[in-house]
Chains A and B, each alone.
Chain A
Amino acid sequence: MRIKTLAIAAFALAGLAVPASANAITLIGSGSVAAQPVLQALFATYTKQVNPKVKFVYTANGGNAGVKDVQNGTSQFAGNARTPLPSDAGTTYIKMFMDGLCLDVNKKNAASNITIQQAHDIYRGLLTNWSQIPGSNLTTTIDPVGRDTNGGTYNFFLQAVLGNEPPASNVNALTADGLVQNAVKQDPNAIGYVGLAWQRGVKPLKVNGVPCAPSKISVEPLRYPLSRYLFIVLPGDGSQSPPALLKFIDWMRRSPLAGEVISKAGGVPAFNKKPKKR
C-alpha cells in the first residue's frame, strides 16, 4: 500500500518535471483579466502550431498589477486594457487587438438603442425609470449593474461613459464580469456593461445607433463608440525583451492564424491579415 502510494507520488512528480527539462523557453506574464481568454488561446495555438519550444505562464491579476510586475521585473510582459498613464513610466505599450464594451439588458427588455448620454445619466442616478428610455417596453425602475474598482473595465467605463465622474450609489458594483452578465440575465430591469466575450444570455444594445458587434468595432475611423485596444506592456523601450517574446508579439499582431484565434476567443483582430501598419 505504502509502496504503491510512493510510486504514484514519484510518477506524478516526474510528470511535473518533464516539461521543465524539455529545453523550452518559458515566458512569464501577468495583468489584464479582460485579455486573459484571448491571450490563453493565443498561447496555446502558438505553442502547439508555431513554436513548441516556447511556453507561457500568465497570471490574470489585473492590468494595473501587471504593469507593476513589469516595472519591477517580476514579469516579462503584461496585458492591459487601458491606455498608458503617467505612473507607467519605463514601459512600452504595444497594441494587440481590439475589444468592445457592450451595454447589455435583459432579453425581456424591448429597448434596442441607447446613447452615451443616456448611459451616463443612468449610471449617475439621473435616469431611474425604463419609461425614460425610448424603445423600452418597461415602466419599472432601472437596476444599473457595474464592475467594482478592481476591474480595468471599470476604469474604461469611467473614462468613456461617465467622463471620470464616479458612478451613483444605486449602481450595484459586482466583483467579476461573469457576475455582471449573470445579474443582467436574471433581472428584467437590469442594465450592465461587459466585454464582447460575455454576451451569452443577455441582449447587447446599440450604442448611438451602432451595434456592439465585432464588425463594427474599430478605433479609426470611430464606429462603435466603446471600442478599445488591449495592450501588451514591455519593460523599457521593448528592445531588451527576449527575442522569443518579440517574435510571438509579431506573430500575434500580423499572422492570419492569430487573427482567427483572436476572433474565436472573443476579441477583434486589429492588424492581422493586413500588411505592415504603424
Chain B
Amino acid sequence: MNEEYQAEYGPKWSDQRVERMLGALVCAVVGLLLAMIVTVFVRAWPSFSHNGLAWFGPGGSVDDQLNAIFLSGQAGAEYIYTFHAWPLIWSTLLITGGAVLIALFSALFVAVFVVEFAPEWMSNILQPVVRFLASVPSVIYGLLGVLVLVPFIGNHLVTEGQKASVAGVISLSGYSLLAAVLVLTTMIAPLMVSIFTDGLRSVKPGWLEGSLALGVNRWRTTWKIGVRSARPAIVAGTVLATARAIGEAVMLAMISGSVGFAPNPADGLIFIYEPSRPLAPTIVKNIDQLSSPPANATLFAIAAVLLFSAALFSLTGYIARRSMRKYGTA
C-alpha cells in the first residue's frame, strides 16, 4: 500500500522532513571532521616542510630539539624547527605493538573459553565483567601503574648491576617499556574480548554442528570453524584496540617514563626496563609550549601523524574485513 502511494504521490512530507534533518546532521558531522583534519595539517605544515622526511628519522636528542624549538619561539628570534621524531615513533611502535600482540592472543583464548567451554554460570559472570573492564577510564590504569607496578619493577625486578650499567644515561627506576606494555595490554584486552565473543557467538550454529556431527572434537571445531568464521570480528576488534592504544596519552605519560629515549633491543634484557616516551604523551607533556609558534607547529605535526595512523588503521581494517567477508558475517 505504501509503495503504491509513494509511486503515485512521491515520498510523504513527514518522511522527507526526517530525511533532510538527518542528512543535515550527517553533513555537519562530516564537515566538522574535515575542518579538524584540515586545521591539524595546516598548523603542522611548517614543521613537516622544514624537516622533510627527516622528521620521521633518528638524529640527536628529541628533548633537546623540543626545548630549542620552544625557546626560539619565546625569544622572538628566528624560529627553529629541526625535529627528528624517531625515538618517539619507535617507542609508540614498541609499546603499541607489544601490547596489541599480547592482548590479541590472550583475548582470543579468553573469548574462545567464554563462548565455547565455560559453563553457563561462569560466562554469565565473565561477560559483564569484561564489558565493565573495557570501559574503565585509562587514568585509573595509570594510577595503578604508578602506585603498584612501577615501584614493583623498580624495586624488585631491576638489579643494581643493571642500573649501574646505564647510570648517567637513563635511570631504570621502574618507569619502563615493561610497565607500559603490561598496563596497556590490560587496558585493551577486555575491549578485544568483548568484540571477539560477539563475533564467535554469531557464527552460524549449523556450521559448528556439521563439524561436530562428522566426529571432529570440540577444540578443533572451535579453532577451525568458529575462529575462522569470526575472523572479520577479530580484525575489527584488533583495529579498534590498536586505535585506542596508539592514541593513549594520559596513562602512558604517567608510567612509560619521560625521556625521549629509543630503547635498544641490542642491550639485552635491560631493554624492557628502559624508559621511553611515545608520541601522544609527548603532546600532553609539552602542552604548555603551545604559545610558542614553532613548538605549536611541532606538536600539531605529532598530532597529524597520530591522526594519519588512526585513519590508516581503520582503512586497513576495512579492507581486511571486506576480503574476509566470504568466511562469515560479523
Contacts and interface: CB of A to CB of B under 8 A. Distances in A.
B158 to A, nearest CB: 10
A168 B168 contact: yes
**Interface size of B as a range:** 35 or more
A198 B170 CA distance: 26
Interface of B: 61, 63-64, 67, 70, 74, 146-147, 150-151, 154-155, 160, 163-164, 166-171, 173-175, 253-254, 257-259, 261, 275, 284-289, 291
Contacts of A179: 146, 254
29 contacts: A125-B168, A125-B169, A126-B168, A128-B168, A129-B164, A141-B163, A141-B164, A142-B167, A143-B154, A143-B171, A145-B173, A148-B285, A149-B285, A149-B288, A150-B285, A166-B64, A166-B67, A169-B259, A170-B169, A170-B170, A172-B171, A172-B258, A172-B275, A175-B254, A179-B146, A182-B147, A187-B174, A189-B173, A190-B173
B149 to A, nearest CB: 11
A215 interface: no
Interface of A: 62, 64-65, 68, 87, 125-126, 128-129, 140-145, 148-150, 166, 168-175, 179, 182-183, 186-190
Nearest to B284: A175
Contact of A187 (B61, B155, B285): B155
B296 to A, nearest CB: 14
B165 to A, nearest CB: 9
Q: Among A144, A175, A188, which residue has the most Cβ atoms of chain B within 10 A?
A: A175
A222 B26 CA distance: 66
A161 B86 CA distance: 31
Counting from the closest, the 9 A-B pairs by CB-CB distance are A128-B167, A150-B288, A141-B163, A143-B173, A186-B151, A173-B258, A125-B168, A170-B171, A128-B168
A62 B291 CA distance: 12
Given A68-B291, A149-B289, A187-B173, A87 B74 contact: yes
B175 A172 contact: yes
Contacts of A190: 173
A4 B167 CA distance: 65
Contacts of A172: 171, 173, 175, 257-259, 275
A62 B288 CA distance: 8
Chain A CB count within 10 A is highest, among B63, B258, B285, B287, for B258
A278 B139 CA distance: 47
Contacts of B291: 64-65, 68
B160 A140 contact: yes
B151 A187 contact: yes
A144 to B, nearest CB: 7
Given A170-B166, A175-B284, 14 more contacts: A126-B168, A129-B167, A140-B163, A148-B285, A149-B67, A150-B285, A173-B285, A174-B258, A175-B285, A186-B151, A187-B154, A187-B174, A189-B163, A189-B173
